Amino acid sequence: MKVDGQHRRSLWPSARGDALYVIDQRQLPHTLAIARLDRLDQVRSAIAEMWVRGAPLIGATAAYGIALQCRQAADDAALRAAQSSLDSARPTAVNLAWATRRMVDALLPLALAQRAAAAWELADAIAEEDVAINAAIGRHGLALLQALAARSPGGTLNVLTHCNAGWLATVDWGTALAPVYLAQASGLAVHVWVDETRPRNQGASLTAWELGQQGVAHTVIADNTGGHLMQRGQVDLVIVGADRVTARGDVCNKIGTYLKALAARDNGLPFYVAMPFSTLDLGLSDGLAEIPIEHRSARELTHVSGRDGAGQHTEVQVVPDGSPALNPAFDVTPARLVSGLITERGVLVADEAVLRGAASG
Ligand code: MRU
């Protein structure tokens, strides 16, 4: 997608194949900072500290982490240690373990001398695939948006989204926002309600920034506002991303997603989840009981960061000294509240037989 009119991706390898460049998303929307990662430990830190975030992007980043490790040591023990180090960086988004497993499974059967080149090639392939998959999600989602827009010709379609499931959360296009970008390109009048997404404000800082860069009409709202807008007919549908979807279609996504699904159901609105198949975890069934939920530092809640009047990045405390804070980063929306899963293979019902069938087909 575009930044200041120039095409960008959220990560790209160095021309010499010896480093990975990423956008340090902690500094957006105020500064577009590029970070160079040369080693596995840097890649792990970039994932854990959320320089890069979003399920598909941390998967692709981790794939390059394995490739960078291979430049240092590519024996079986080194590969397995790199895999477990990366997997432990963030526990909820299954795309991370999906990508490292794919890398290690492909590399272990190869001779040691072949591994570094093969690893780089496969990491490139995973990144390219992500772009193609998201474009396909966009096309399937666009058909949904067009069908909804046809019900009120001439009007503007109002989409509500939570967190950031745009191009910054993937290699390019995004998942939940890909249909929006294609809708805009096709001339459909679309407007996005952007949940701020406390505590880290990925909506206010990242989604608003990328929609603004693409020229998509949008409005940032407090996380508590969506239900109110739905009751007043100002939302046509909700589209969110996912970090892990179980075999029966339970959806784990950024904390607060579940409340949006409840509000959508109460107001008779469609609640769609956009996800690549790499987000599907067929090994799990009951999302609430089985998906590991990442708990992050209380400081993300007790403090808010941003730009002050002098243009300096600053952080302020908003919670009294000594008040404990709890910060689960994700929640689970049961399949029964999901209108459909927008995938690269089409829009699917959140149902075990459907998902297993589509995964094997
Ligand atoms: O904690 P984050 O910012 O990595 O959480 C991101 C989300 O919850 C996204 O909605 C999800 O990863 C899907 S991204 C296409």
Judgement on whether residues 111 and 243 belong to the same structural domain of the protein? no
Judgement on whether residues 123 and 10 belong to the same structural domain of the protein? yes
Residue at a domain's end among 129, 164, 189? 129
- Give mean pLDDT, residues 27-51: 97
Query: Of all residues in the chain, what percent carry a pLDDT higher than 90?
Result: 98
> Cα separation of 270 and 172, whole Å?
25
Range of the domain at 53: 2-129
- Give mean pLDDT, residues 25-39: 97
Judgement on whether residues 78 and 158 belong to the same structural domain of the protein? no
| Per-residue pLDDT at 2 exceeds 90 | no
- Give mean pLDDT, residues 305-331: 96
Number of domains in the chain: 2
Judgement on whether residues 199 and 175 belong to the same structural domain of the protein? yes
Residues with C-beta less than 6 Å from any ligand 1 atom: 53-56, 93, 163, 165, 169-170, 174-175, 202, 240-243, 253-254, 329
Judgement on whether residues 195 and 121 belong to the same structural domain of the protein? no
CATH of the domain at 6: 1.20.120.420
Other beta carbons less than 10 A from residue 40's beta carbon: 24
Judgement on whether residues 71 and 153 belong to the same structural domain of the protein? no
Nearest atom (ligand 1) to Cα of 274:
15
Judgement on whether residues 170 and 299 belong to the same structural domain of the protein? yes
Are the CB atoms for 65 and 45 separated by under 8 Å? no
Ligand 1 centroid – CA 278 distance (Å): 14
Q: Please choose from 96, 164, 201 the residue to mutate so as to test ligand 1's pocket, defined by most ligand atoms within 8 A of CB.
A: 164
Residue at a domain's end among 129, 160, 195? 129
CATH of the domain at 256: 3.40.50.10470
Ligand 1 centroid – CA 163 distance (Å): 7
Q: What is the pLDDT of residues 266-299, one digit of tens each?
A: 999 999 999 999 999 999 999 999 999 999 999 9
Average pLDDT for the chain: 97
Scored b (16 or more CB within 10 A) or e, 64-100 reads bbbbbbbbeebeeebbeebbebbbebbbbbbbbbbbb
Judgement on whether residues 174 and 311 belong to the same structural domain of the protein? yes
Nearest atom (ligand 1) to Cα of 55:
12
Kindly state the DSSP code that residue 294 receives in the 8-state scheme. Answer: P
- Quick check: is 243 catalytic? yes
Nearest atom (ligand 1) to Cα of 294:
1
Ligand 1 centroid – CA 240 distance (Å): 9
Judgement on whether residues 176 and 322 belong to the same structural domain of the protein? yes
> Cα separation of 145 and 109, whole Å?
45
| Per-residue pLDDT at 66 exceeds 90 | yes
Q: What is the pLDDT of residues 103-116, one digit of tens each?
A: 999 999 999 999 99
Spot the catalytic one: 130, 236, 243, 250.
243
Judgement on whether residues 77 and 162 belong to the same structural domain of the protein? no
- Give mean pLDDT, residues 305-325: 95
So what's the pLDDT on residue 361?
83
Judgement on whether residues 235 and 261 belong to the same structural domain of the protein? yes
Residue at a domain's end among 97, 129, 161? 129
Judgement on whether residues 356 and 262 belong to the same structural domain of the protein? yes
Q: How many CA atoms lie within 13 A of 306 on its CB side?
A: 14
